[in-house]
Amino acid sequence: MVKQSIIRMESDGPEGIGLEFWGNLESEKVLEGEPVEKGYNYFTNATGQFTSGVWEVTPCKSRIDAQPADEFVYIIKGTVTLTDDDGHAETFTAGQCYVVPKGFPHIWHNTETVRKFYVIFEEAVSKE
């Protein structure tokens, strides 16, 4: 049996490691900018359905046709505006948090680098 322990999540990534380069955001979703992603996934449970970590992206505007999973977000730095298909916009700044439900279509727009803590839950895929 693997010993379990508390996992401390640092906003700059683990000491001595920092945030890892994750590449460029998928170009077919990018509407503006040339966004670069960095992050560190601190935890994935045994099922692979629950993950948490820290993520950063440089300024961009991108389209998410359907949020791939339920996600809780806590903004560490920067400002992001999420706009739904009806044009309703919500802006979040450092110290604020929100939840995006799976399937939610929206535009993500950040005019400065944004860093966030994330907690993602992905439903199990049915094996029927």
| 41 belongs to a structural domain | yes
Q: CA-based angle 91:93:95, to the nearest 5?
A: 135
| 50 belongs to a structural domain | yes
Spatial CA neighbour of 22 closest among 60, 58, 46, 62: 58
| 1 belongs to a structural domain | no
Q: pLDDT at position 128, please?
A: 61
- CATH number of the domain at 39, please: 2.60.120.10
| 81 belongs to a structural domain | yes
Q: pLDDT at position 4, please?
A: 83
Identify the helix (H) or strand (E) that includes residue 63: strand 60-64
| 128 belongs to a structural domain | no
Q: pLDDT at position 28, please?
A: 77
| 26 belongs to a structural domain | yes
State the residue range of the domain holding 71: 20-121
Beta carbons within 10 angstroms of residue 83's beta carbon = 17
pTM here? 0.91
Total domains in the fold of the chain = 1
| 101 belongs to a structural domain | yes
Q: Which residues of the chain have pLDDT under 70?
A: 1-2, 126-128
Mean pLDDT, the chain, as a whole number? 94
Is residue 23 a contact partner of residue 13, using CB atoms and an 8 Å limit?
no
